[in-house]
């Protein structure tokens, strides 16, 4: 994971602006594992596309809840997520992680219907890795909070 390419999506940047100006507060609460974050000819990570709204080639049908206590502030501008994939979970090819956020509160009562809305906040691409079915794996993801 040291060579991961990380990018906040355009929708993630937009929602950050809405949080600051409109009081539409969100939390990064979910993740998704995918296999579309590498160049198939070299198996090396590609730069994430900021226009993505869904993670390409996901291994799950829905985003998975990040366990409580798995996110840490490691500096004034970085948040780190430690995600454990147990044996039998997300086996096979993987090369990307999507971090999904959810709107959890709003200031304006007219925005109440937005609570619970999920969106792709950031994408992290890394070199292709084939996870054996019987192997647990811990992913340490660092997100720059600019």
Over residues 21-33, the pLDDT tens digits come to 999 999 999 999 9
Range of the structural domain that residue 133 is part of: 5-144
Q: Count Cβ atoms below 10 Å from residue 128 Cβ, excluding itself.
A: 18
Q: How many domains does the chain have?
A: 1
Over residues 37-77, the pLDDT tens digits come to 999 999 999 999 999 999 999 998 899 999 988 999 998 88
18 neighbors 11 (Cβ within 8 angstroms)? no
Q: How would you classify residue 74: left for phi > 0, otherwise alpha for psi between -120 and 50, otherwise beta?
A: alpha
Task: Name the phi and psi angles at 71, rounded to 5.
Answer: -115, 135
Inform me whether the pLDDT recorded for 80 exceeds 70.
yes
Question: Which pTM was predicted?
Answer: 0.92
Give CA–CA dist 45/40, Å, rounded.
9
Over residues 85-110, the pLDDT tens digits come to 999 888 999 999 999 999 999 999 99
Nearest-CA neighbor of 11 among 48, 58, 59? 48
């Amino acid at each position: 994971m040291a060579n991961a390419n990380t990018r906040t999506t355009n929708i993630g940047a937009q929602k950050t602006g809405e949080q600051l100006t409109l009081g539409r507060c969100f939390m990064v609460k979910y993740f998704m594992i995918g296999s579309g974050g590498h160049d198939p000819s070299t198996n090396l990570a590609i730069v994430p596309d900021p226009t993505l709204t869904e993670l390409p080639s996901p291994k799950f049908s829905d985003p998975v809840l990040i366990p409580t206590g798995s996110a840490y502030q490691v500096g004034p501008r970085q948040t780190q997520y430690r995600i454990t994939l147990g044996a039998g979970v997300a086996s096979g090819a993987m090369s990307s992680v999507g971090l999904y956020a959810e709107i959890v509160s709003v200031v304006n009562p007219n925005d109440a219907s937005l609570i619970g809305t999920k969106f792709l906040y950031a994408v992290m691409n890394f070199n292709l890795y084939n996870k054996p079915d019987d192997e647990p794996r811990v992913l340490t993801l660092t997100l720059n909070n600019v």
